[in-house]
Amino acid sequence: MKGIHGNQGAAAVEFAVLFLLLMVILFGIIEFGFIWMQSHYIANAAREGARVSAKGHDNTQVETAIKDYLKGLYSEARVDGTGGCCGSGNFIEVNISGPDDGEVINVPEFAAEDAPKAVKVTVTVRTAEVWDPILWDLLRLLPGSSVSGDLTEISEFAVFAFE
């Protein structure tokens, strides 16, 4: 019976020691899920922009298609640049390149001489304007961690071939 009374606070101490690790794991699951979802949306927006560009539309219509797609994830005011966080073009950056710009886009399925014309659309979203991840701050609290930098933007691209 003497050993039982000596261990009364052991569970509380063990929980206190492991609580930080449990929080890092929990926030890591949530944040990586949110980062993956944003990356998925941005990649699909780049694909949509490349498709619209390959149909022969001008860059303004391509940017409009990309922004319309991203309104499914971000607020309309933020996407349009009227949300107060950033000016127009500071939240979403669209870069369109292709044969008209003198850039050769390699489509790996074709030999160089048979390669069709292609357009490459790159979409960069400054995600720190929406949500600044806290996982890096939590990881820095762990002893021995050497985490540096933060995730401030997500950039995805799509290449679409056309004749």
Predicted TM-score of the model (pTM): 0.72
The domain of 135 spans 2-162
Structure letter (DSSP) for residue 114: G
Q: How many structural domains is the chain composed of?
A: 1
Instruction: Categorize the per-residue pLDDT at 116 as very low, low, confident or very high, splitting at 50, 70 and 90.
Output: low
Q: How far apart are CA 2 and CA 80, in angstroms?
A: 70
Q: Are 43 and 122 in contact (CB under 8 A)?
A: no
Structure letter (DSSP) for residue 55: T
Strand order in the sheet with 92-97: 92-97, 117-125, 154-162
Supply the pLDDT for residue 102: 47
Supply the pLDDT for residue 46: 93
Does the pLDDT of residue 86 top 60, yes or no? no
